Structures are given as structure tokens and as C-alpha cells.
Amino acid sequence: MKTLDPRRTQAYVDEVWTQHALPALVDYIRIPNKSPMFDKQWAEHGHMDAAVQLVADWCRTHGPADMRLEVRRLEGRTPLIFMEIPASEGTTSDRTVLLYGHLDKQPEMSGWLEGLGPWTPVLRGDRLYGRGGADDGYAAFAAVTALQALREQGIPHARCVVLIEACEESGSPDLPFHLDALGDRLGPVDLVICLDSGCGNYEQLWLTTSLRGILTGDLRVEVLREGVHSGDAGGVVPETFRILRQLLSRLDDEATGRVLPDGLWVDIPPERTEQARAVGGVLGPTVYQRFPFRDGARAMTEDPTEAILNRTWRPSLAITGQAGLPELANAGNVLRPATAVKISMRLPPTLDAAAALALVKRELERDPPSGAAVTFTGDAQGGWNAPVMAPWLTEGVAAASQRFFDKPAMLMGEGGSIPFMGMLGRKFPQAGFVITGVLGPESNAHGPNEFLHLPTARRLTGCVADLVAAHRGQLDR
């Protein structure tokens, strides 16, 4: 069987990216298509439809000639781009490769450097700045280019399906409905390639072995019906922020950040600990130094292995929003009636998310201090732990990294969540999974100054082509 020429592949990919994909990504970054969680009127604003149209038009123009592309719509839900590429001639197996990405975006955030902005694409050296380029607008361009690279060399491949959703940053609430509507059109999925994850550096292929779950919710503390003079009531009326601090101390240790309820922890599989140790040996202190610490600020641990396990297999708590606190310039001497915060807790990959949500709600609402009205309303989604890779896939990943990065592949868990992976894992338990991406050091997805590292995107595109070809090769064994 004809094999992929990596040099020819990389040359083709580089040309497509430079001449065609990059200009389209620049236009895509300009579109403020925030995920529905952050833009309740997304349908009326039309930004999501504009991004979907841009990506769909590009894929139709630059994808394989026999590719069928649909923009699927369900009432009241975000659209889904569904692409189907038939198996190359002579392939008799119906096994399918599914490639996944998303095109919805996180909100603007503040703190962008001078000259940069969320909807202002800026190319500086190898970095394309702007919201959504790396998370995850590049995915559709990479997937289609990889498949076309196979066709350009006449390399056989199995049937392929590309899914690009538009609500991943909101937790993928619309995706199950689209999957139900598609029925059996996904086919018998044999290999999943997800392009929405991270990389420890920009020098080799990185595979994500696990993803944490997420628990989010609003914690509200209320004592008064209305605000009162802080001098008149101070020392008599309990202060809601203080009560809030007490409640949060039930969840984590304020001195160390360690999550306290035992029910939010799991035993870490030994192989994941060994992988973390190997990655720590490669990345060293860059595991924590890659974050933009202010002078004098320190990481929670400077042990690379422990830092990796903390962000991939252990629970952590963050407060991501608040209500009831006025801006400093408008903060009068008032004892406020209520305080509320948004909780975002990352859960270990194998933890039962529903049980975790019930535990957190119980801990926060039990025995309210000073008889305050305490409510917690939230939601939780489970994480994902990759199945054991088949020998052919292990070999294929190693070979692809050497061919396109000239370095060995690395395996590492990620701290974020991709809800689709759990859905697919349950639907296709026998499938192999390649979860990878371009979110490396300083790329800062969800925050200011997000960028796409273009050389990594191009090399990763070559790796995707190589893996799809390797999948077809093992079908003949």
C-alpha cells in the first residue's frame, strides 16, 4: 500500500495554511461569536451564523471534491457543521474516523496588550493573536487540510466524518440533540481525533490522556431585605461577605488551596502518575513558569510532577464572578443585603459529577451561619480518562511525532474539559482516541492575548494526515 511522504505532506500543508487557511482564520477572529452562555441573544446577533458560514464555505472550497457538507440546524439550538468524506476507492471496511472541533468563543476578557484585542487579529512572528484562533477555530482548517493532503498523494483512508460544533464553550448542551438527530450517520466510529486540547511545548506531538470534569454554580448569601448604613448596623447585622468566606472554607483550605471534602477526590491511576513524572522530567519548571505570574508571586508547588497532577487529577476551586459588590468608585458606607459568587470547580476525571454536585450543594447549604439565607444552584459534567491505546495507534502516534516534529510524542492529562469526549466514550467504547491541540505555553485560551502558534498548527495537521493513513493501514492487517 502506498505510504504518506512526510516531506511532501508538510510542503502541501504549509502552502495551504499560508495561502488559504491563515487569511480565513484572520477573518474568523474578527467575528465576535461568543458561546451562548455568554451571549444569550446569539441567534439575533447573527455572529455565530457568520462564523459557521465562513468555516463552511472554506471547507467546501478546499476539502475533497466528494466531501458532503451540511450545516445542520435544530430549533432553538446552535448549528452544527457535519462533513462526510467517503472512504477512498478500494476500501471495503465501514469503520469511520471522526474528527472534532468547535468554533464558538469565550468572552473578551480584559488585559490585552497594547495593539491586541479579542476581535483584532494580529500576526506577530509565528503567533496569530485573537480570540478563538487556537481555541478552536483552527480545527476545521486543520482537519480538512489533512484529509485533502491524503487525497493529493493518493493515500487510501477510511470513511471520515468531521464535526464542528458551536456551543462547546457552554458545555456542549446542544451536541447530544444533534447526535440524536444524526442517528447512525456517524457510522461505526473506530478512531476519534479531537483537535481541542493542549500541548506542553511547541516541539512535539502531545496526546491528552485525561480531562477533568467541571462543576459550576452560583452561591448566594442574603441577610437583609435592603442595604443599611454600615455604621448603624455594623456589629449588629452579620456581614454577607464574611458569611460567604465561612462557606467557601468548607470547600477548600484558604491557606493551601487544597479541596477539603474527601468525596471530591479519587485515587490516581499509577500509569497516569508515571506519565506525569515523565512529562515533568521533560518540561521541568516550565510546567508552572509558563503562567504570567506577577513579580514575587509563587506557584502552589514547584515540583513539576505534583503541579501536573494538581492540574489534571486533583480537584481545584476558583471564584470566577461576583454579584452584590459595587465598583470601588461607587462603594458607599453600606452594609449590603446580599453577596453572590460564581464557583468553578474542576473535578478529577473519573469522579461522579452528579454525586459531586450533590455533595457541594449539601456542604454549602447546611447549617447556614447566623441563619442567613444560603442557596447554591449549579451544574456538573464528568471528566474523561482515555482507554488503553491499541498497539497500532501507539506506534502511529510515535511515528507521526517523529516524522513531523522530529521528537517523541508525549502523553499528559489536561485540566480542562471537553464534554464531547465523555459522550463519545460512552457511545463508542471500542474506539481509539487521539486528543491533541495547539494550546501550549502562554497561548492563554479563555484569557487575554490568546494566540495560535502557526508552526505547531501546520505540523499537527501533518500528524493528523499521518494518523488517518495509519488507521487505514491497520484495517488491512
* The pLDDT value given to residue 422: 84
* The pLDDT value given to residue 89: 81
| Mean model confidence pLDDT for the chain | 96
pLDDT band for position 1 (cuts 50, 70, 90): low
* The pLDDT value given to residue 196: 96
- Residue entry with cell 442574603: 222
Domains with residue ranges and CATH for the chain:
6-211+383-475 (3.40.630.10), 213-278+311-381 (3.30.70.360)
Task: In whole angstroms, give the CA distance from residue 426 to residue 432.
Answer: 12
- Percentage of the chain beyond pLDDT 70 is 100
Q: CB 13: neighbour CB atoms within 10 A?
A: 27
Average pLDDT over residues 281-294: 94
pLDDT in tens, 106-153: 999 999 999 999 999 999 999 999 999 999 999 999 999 999 999 999
Taking alpha carbons only, the member of 473, 11, 469, 417 closest to residue 216 is: 417
pLDDT band for position 423 (cuts 50, 70, 90): confident
Average pLDDT over residues 3-28: 97
Of 259-263, 363-367, 416-420, the range with the lowest mean pLDDT is: 416-420
pLDDT in tens, 202-241: 999 999 999 999 999 999 999 999 999 999 999 999 999 9
* The pLDDT value given to residue 365: 98
Tell me phi and psi for residue 132, to 5 degrees. 95, -10
> In a 3-state reduction of DSSP, which class is residue 344?
strand
Has residue 194 got a pLDDT over 80? yes
* The pLDDT value given to residue 87: 95
pLDDT in tens, 36-61: 999 999 999 999 999 999 999 999 99
Residue 451 in grid coordinates: 494566540
* The pLDDT value given to residue 324: 96
Task: Answer yes or no: are the C-beta atoms of 359 and 261 closer than 8 Å.
Answer: yes
* The pLDDT value given to residue 420: 79
pLDDT band for position 91 (cuts 50, 70, 90): confident
Task: Answer yes or no: are the C-beta atoms of 151 and 66 closer than 8 Å.
Answer: no
Task: In whole angstroms, give the CA distance from residue 101 to residue 180.
Answer: 18
* The pLDDT value given to residue 421: 86
Angle subtended at Cα 141 by Cα 8 and Cα 208, rounded to the nearest 5 degrees: 90
* The pLDDT value given to residue 308: 97
Entry pTM: 0.89
Residue type, 111: G
Tell me phi and psi for residue 211, to 5 degrees. -135, 140
